[in-house]
Amino acid sequence: MYERVQNLTRIEIENFQSIEFISIPLHSTGVHWINGKPNVGKSAVLKAIQALFTNVSNHKYKEMIRDGQDFFRVKGYFGEDDWVELVRGENDNYSWVLDGQGGMLEKTQGKVPFEVKQYYQLYWTGDKIKRNLNFTLVGDQLFFVETTSGDNTLILEKALGTDRLTRVGKYSDTEKREVRSELRTIRNFHEESDNKLEALSLEVSDNEERLEGLNRLERTLEIEINTHSTVNNLLTNIQQLAKIAQVIQSVEDNIRKVNVEELHQEIKLYEKVDVLHSKQERLAQLQDLEEELSVNITSQQVHELEQEIKDYERVATKASRLIKIQEDLERLTSSLEETATEYQELLQAKEDFLAQFEVCPFCERPMGEEHGSC
């Protein structure tokens, strides 16, 4: 804020509407009376002062330029050393020297520089009051665009030296209005927050209910999955039992195809194996005896011994085959017994599992009815 604020003491106007050039000294009291005939430029003077204090928008400044010219200039003096100058048209700038500090703003675009605005004190906590536009027309009418009666009173009080009290009062009223506005904003914010909190609480409650429903559904699906897995395992076991039954049936068919009479004959041949073993031992003994006693064995005896050896080899072959068949038979019998036991256990497990249902999971008929193949 500048240390002092001077009243407007002189105004220079050039190429502004009907004014070619004029320099007007102003009274130090700050209250002025402009008098003159119609169309001599009284309103142009006031508009030029208004332009100096508030600038002119880009789409209106051309209306202010005097016909045949390409710019207008307004320069205001405040005391002996301070001045502000506005040029619009071909050139567009503000220039000033205020409290010994000079400056310039090129291309104003219809705006007032901050330094100039601060010196003018055009704004007091947001309340727009044109403090330096202290002019009056004939009939005690204070001229300014959209000047209110309150502004007129403030201008008069400034001329009488009582404007500082009014500014303080206005500042206090403005602060009160701002505080009330802030309080209304805070109340509205709290109301909106409460409404949002209530809506969020309802949403959380709805989400909790949905979550509980999803948990129930998850538990139901888990039970159904376990049941489905059990049913699949049971079906797999039944299929395995069917395959085992087929194997058992095949073994039984093979057993039925075995000729018992041939087995008996082969068993008898097997009994002869021991006899052949004895004969073989006897032959070995005779050979030893022949070597010892140098006894000549006849060709007939040799032929008989060779024939017995061949018979022994045939019987030994059949005996080996018979032993293998007997081992296979014992193995199949043991496997059949184990399969039968497992089959009975699976049948019992099936009955225990089906006892848990009122409806058969395979054919969907009541458990008390006949189910056929299932």
What is the residue extent of each domain of the chain? Answer: 8-161, 258-354
Whole-angstrom CA distances from 73 to 5, 79, 80, 117, 307 are 23, 20, 20, 18, 155
Fold annotation for 8-161: Rossmann fold (3.40.50)
For 86: left if phi > 0, alpha if psi spans -120 to 50, otherwise beta; the answer is beta
Q: How far apart are CA 119 and CA 233, in angstroms?
A: 95
Q: How far apart are CA 347 and CA 343, in angstroms?
A: 6
DSSP per position, 219-238: HHHHHHHHHHHHHHHHHHHH
Q: How far apart are CA 162 and CA 156, in angstroms?
A: 9
Helices (H) and strands (E) in the chain, counts: 7, 10
Tokens of 131: 């403090």
Q: Is the pTM of this model over 0.85?
A: no
pLDDT of residue 139: 37
Furthest C-alpha separation in the chain: 186
135-136 and 32-33 beta bridge pairing: parallel
Report the run of H or E that residue 336 belongs to, with start and end: helix 299-354
5: Cβ–Cβ under 8 A, 6 or more apart, which residues?
Answer: 78, 119, 120, 121, 131
Question: How far does Cα 195 stand from its chain's mean position?
Answer: 25
Report the run of H or E that residue 23 belongs to, with start and end: strand 19-25
Apex CA 252: angle with CA 248 and CA 256, to 5°? 170
123-124 and 93-98 beta bridge pairing: unpaired
pLDDT of residue 228: 81
Q: Taking a C-beta distance cutoff of 8 angstroms, is the pair 60, 72 a contact?
A: no
Per-residue confidence in pLDDT tens, the chain, 374 aa: 445 556 788 999 999 998 999 999 987 666 677 777 888 888 899 899 889 988 999 989 999 999 999 999 999 998 888 999 999 998 899 999 988 889 999 999 889 998 888 776 544 434 444 434 444 433 333 344 444 556 556 655 655 555 555 666 666 777 888 888 888 999 998 888 888 888 888 889 888 888 988 899 888 888 888 888 887 888 888 888 888 878 888 877 777 776 666 667 767 777 777 777 777 787 787 777 767 655 455 677 777 777 877 877 787 787 778 788 878 778 877 877 887 787 788 777 777 776 676 666 666 667 666 655 55
CA atoms in the 13 A half-sphere facing the CB of 16: 27
Q: Taking a C-beta distance cutoff of 8 angstroms, is the pair 69, 15 a contact?
A: yes
- Sign of the Cα pseudo-torsion (201, 205, 211, 215, in order): positive
Q: How far apart are CA 335 and CA 124, in angstroms?
A: 110
Residue with tokens 């038979």: 329
pLDDT of residue 360: 67
- Sign of the Cα pseudo-torsion (223, 228, 232, 235, in order): positive
Q: Taking a C-beta distance cutoff of 8 angstroms, is the pair 118, 2 a contact?
A: yes
Tokens of 327: 């081992």
Q: Which residue pairs from 259-265 have beta carbons closer than 8 angstroms and sit at least 24 positions apart in sequence?
A: 263/322, 263/325
Report the run of H or E that residue 46 belongs to, with start and end: helix 42-54
Main-chain dihedrals φ then ψ at residue 131, nearest 5 degrees = -70, -30
19-25 and 8-16 beta bridge pairing: antiparallel
pLDDT of residue 130: 40
